Chain A
Amino acid sequence: MKKQKVDVSGLIVKIIFVIAVLILWEVVARANLFGSRSRLIFPTIGDVLQAFVNNFKTGYAGSSFWVYIMNSMKLLVLGLFIGIVLAFLFSGLSIVSKTFHSIYNLVVSVFDLLPGVALLPVVIVICGVTPGVIVFLVVHAVIWPMSRSVLDGFLAVPKIYVESGLNMGLSGFSLLTGVYIPAATSYIVSGLKVGWARAWRGLLSAEMIFGLANCPGIGLYINQMRTNMKNAEMYATLIVIIIIGVVVQYGILAPIEKCTVKRWGMSK
């Protein structure tokens, strides 16, 4: 395996760019360019960092920001889990039954185009204002792109692997787990990426549109900071959202890709 060469000059350019943006930000913040609103739009970097610490230390209304993060993550993980399991289940059934395949294909094509937030009113009528609504939206966000990828992946499995599998005695469910799923891994991983990104956006949108008092999440926290004019805390929350995204992308998804399709020489 070739070791990847670190692009040093590229890294330096990026670091210089980030520092330049931060300096510019600080200059604008201190210059009060926007009059009375200046401190709201551009809180100083020191204020944002202070707010970052405060978020976790004091939080809002007696509960630390950790509680909000954990609530969001709980619903997100539950929704992702249900969505991924269902995507595999339905896509697997599509392999077994041609009729199911054509119906499910239609369902995926239609619902994939429907933004989850647009479903919110309907879901609230059905579930009431409960954490179930958020889970529902996360499931909705992940299941369709995931199913699309898994379906495409299963269709693209070379016939020779399937016949090899049949030849060694695999059939039905064992053929699915023994051949179809590993052979479609590159599609499954890209489905996971798209599904996660949509779920994360869907979760935050839903939490911002209606906050759950019994299960407050990150989206609600941002909204509360906005209504209380705590703009430094708002920015600090955005930083946390970015950090979570980076952690999932590089801490979970990238390693999954590295141990599977990259190692097997199957990356697209």
Chain B
Amino acid sequence: MENREIILEINHLTKVFQDEPDVNAEPILEDLNLQLHRKEFLSILGPSGCGKTTMLRCIAGFESYEGEILVGGVSTTKPGTDRIMVFQDFNQIFPWQTVEKNIQYPLKLQGIKDKDQLKAISDEYLKKVNLDGTQKKYPHQLSGGMKQRVAIAKALAQKPKIILMDEPFAALDAMTRNKLQAELLNISRQEDCTFIFITHNIQEAIVLGDRIIVMSKKGKIKIDKQNTLARPITPASPGYGDMWTLFHDAIEE
């Protein structure tokens, strides 16, 4: 893993939400440093309010920040299609577009005009997320899990360097959640893409991540661990219990 090129480099990232200019607010992130290799799948755990989401939003370019964020060696401060965000909210795909148009729209913006080509791409990615046949449906006709699948397909189709996922499965029922975890793991093995996956669920972090980070207050990285368990990982895998306890205790502290 270590000899792969570095796709994301975060240096001295500090973020303060300054609502009133006079008050010296506490920083939500303070001097955060992180490096991510190409094709890595990074899971981030941490208690609420530790700054996980804020870090993700800084990377996505939705927030201003102090410090430096380099994507593929280039400093970034604005949103861009090399980093695509998948949110927790089911209603992130546009309700006024059909499923396939939702996937095709950003591709059109990127300059793909050929209709057959667009159709081929949207079909390909819908198949990848097991949603073949929903092309002409509108989002309100889909279940929450299906909407998240569309959001993932939409993100993948744009061929970003990094996909930023902010608890995308948190609002799903347990069965759908397990299914989507397996699908995402499978997809992440095939695609040439780097993933940052925020979750509150330790099982999810272990099942998905090549590398798992536990964050504490102000974005301090408490644990940064390569996931060495043999895949596929289930709660019955050797070493799973120890790892679970390690992360659980780190979050609770």
Q: Interface on A for B, CB 8 Å cutoff?
A: 158, 160-161, 163-164, 166-170, 174, 178-179, 182-183, 185, 260, 263-266
Contacts and interface: CB of A to CB of B under 8 A. Distances in A.
B241 to A, nearest CB: 37
Interface in B88-112: 89, 91-96, 105-106, 109-110
Contacts of B87: 160, 163-164
Interface stretch (B2-10, B133-141, B185-193, B217-225): B133-141
Contacts of A168: 81, 84, 105-106, 109, 158
B85 interface: yes
A161 B94 contact: yes
Contact of A265 (B89, B106, B141): B141
Contacts of A266: 95-96, 140
A263 B62 contact: no
Interface in B43-76: 60-62
Nearest to A162: B62
Interface residues of B, number: 26
A178 B81 CA distance: 16
A167 B78 CA distance: 9
Nearest to B158: A168
Contacts of A182: 94, 96
Nearest to A166: B79
A3 to B, nearest CB: 15
5 shortest interchain CB distances as A-B pairs: A265-B140, A168-B106, A182-B96, A166-B79, A264-B95
Contacts of A174: 109
B235 interface: no
Contact of B94 (A163, A164, A169): A164
B80 interface: yes
B188 to A, nearest CB: 19
A3 B79 CA distance: 43
A265 B85 contact: no
A168 B81 CA distance: 5
B249 to A, nearest CB: 34
Interface in B7-27: none
Nearest to B102: A164
A174 B94 CA distance: 15
Given A264-B138, A265-B139, A166 B96 contact: no
B23 to A, nearest CB: 22
Given A166-B79, A263-B138, A265-B140, 18 more contacts: A160-B92, A164-B92, A164-B93, A166-B61, A167-B60, A167-B84, A168-B81, A168-B105, A168-B158, A169-B80, A169-B81, A169-B106, A169-B109, A178-B105, A185-B96, A264-B138, A265-B95, A266-B140
Given A160-B92, A264-B96, A265-B95, A166 B62 contact: yes
Nearest to A265: B140
9 contacts: A163-B85, A164-B93, A166-B79, A167-B60, A169-B106, A170-B109, A178-B105, A183-B96, A263-B138
Nearest to B109: A169
Contacts of A183: 94, 96
Most chain A CB neighbours (cut-off 10 Å) among B89, B95, B96? B96
A167 B79 contact: yes
Contacts of B83: 167
A167 B91 contact: no
B84 to A, nearest CB: 6
A263 B84 CA distance: 28
Contacts of B158: 168
B101 to A, nearest CB: 11
Contacts of A160: 87, 89, 91-92
Given A158-B91, A160-B89, A265-B139, A167 B96 contact: no
A187 to B, nearest CB: 13
Contacts of A166: 61-62, 79
Contacts of B105: 168, 178
Contacts of B95: 264-266
Most chain B CB neighbours (cut-off 10 Å) among A174, A178, A260? A178
Contacts of A185: 96
Nearest to B92: A160
Contacts of B110: 169
Contacts of B96: 182-183, 185, 260, 264, 266
A19 B84 CA distance: 63
B167 to A, nearest CB: 13
Nearest to B139: A265
Contacts of A264: 95-96, 138, 140
B175 to A, nearest CB: 25
Most chain A CB neighbours (cut-off 10 Å) among B84, B85, B95? B95
A158 B90 CA distance: 12
